[in-house]
Amino acid sequence: MSHGEAVQLFWKKEEIYDRNAQTVTLTGGARAVRGDVTVDADTLIGYLRKKAPAPGQPAPPPQPTDAKGNNNGDPMGGSLELYRIEARGNVHIYNQTDQGWGDHALYDMDQAVMVMTGKHLKLTTPQDVLTARDVMEYHSKTRMSVGRGDATVTTNDGKQVKADVLVSFSKPNDAPASGTPQAASQTRPAGGGDNPLGGGSSKLDRAYGWGHVVLRTQTQTGTGDRGVYVFDTQIARLIGHVHVTQGQNQNNGSQAIVNMKTGIATMLPGTESPIQGLVVPNEANSSQAPK
């Protein structure tokens, strides 16, 4: 009854079939398990459809009906597959390394896209924490996470990237070192197949921010209209109405390159406005002052 890999369903109270809507609703605390990913929620709704025959195979014969046209066999009317899962209330999605929380989630198995909404949206990995106010998405095929509304990525060492809309991309799971062949038994589809958490934990590669972008380290804050941050190099670029502040020192301009590892920010000239700076004398000798 699943599209691709089998889904195991568990529930505590009712199992409600709706033949017209072609759904099955599990209540009272329900769980769906697919591979190494588990989805827990107060209520789970599975969306079903007729299962297409395998290539080259004939379509299955129609199910027998009684005099009133009712199907007396499968209560859902034949061979079906599960192609979408909706979770409502206290949603918790997790695998061995990553976890996500929200009030509502919708997972499309065809597109391998999970969308979560509600309060206190959060996705955690061993390296980072992603939060958002309005919507959180995960696109497994492209390894893309999207946070909408005051979205924030916080790394384990305290660095933070924040924006109205934040789009981050992860590296492929178990990527081999350069020049090292990968064993066939370890090969995975790009993006971890159609797993809602990507088939395992992976490190973030880069993040793009739009609207009220804020970069924070322990000593420095940079803001701009948009920006990009590369996690391996810990270097970010801010564009549009840029302000870089360290202590009481401040530099303003159109663009800036910020090294979040060293704390050094380099202001770049642009067409919007000249570079402007405020340097406080007792902090002017700091080796990490913006330049």
Q: Cβ distance 251 to 290 under 8 Å? A: yes
Rounded-to-integer distance, Cα 252 and Cα 261, Å? 21
Please report which confidence band the pLDDT of residue 283 belongs to, taking 50, 70 and 90 as the band edges.
Answer: low
The pLDDT of residue 185 is above 50: no
This prediction's pTM: 0.76
pLDDT tens per residue, range 26-63: 999 999 998 888 999 999 999 999 887 767 666 656 65
Q: Cβ distance 128 to 145 under 8 Å? A: no
Mean pLDDT score of the chain, rounded to an integer?
80
Query: Looking at 95-230, which runs of residues are DSSP E strands?
Result: 99-108, 113-117, 121-124, 128-132, 135-139, 144-155, 160-170, 204-216, 221-230
pLDDT of residue 45: 97
Q: Cβ distance 115 to 137 under 8 Å? A: yes
pLDDT tens per residue, range 112-151: 899 999 998 999 988 899 999 999 999 988 889 999 999 9
The pLDDT of residue 188 is above 50: no
Tokens, residue 89: 């209330």
Q: Which residues of 241-270 are buried (b: 16+ CB within 10 A; e: fewer)?
A: bbbbbbeebbbbbbbbebbbeebbbebeee
The pLDDT of residue 217 is above 50: yes
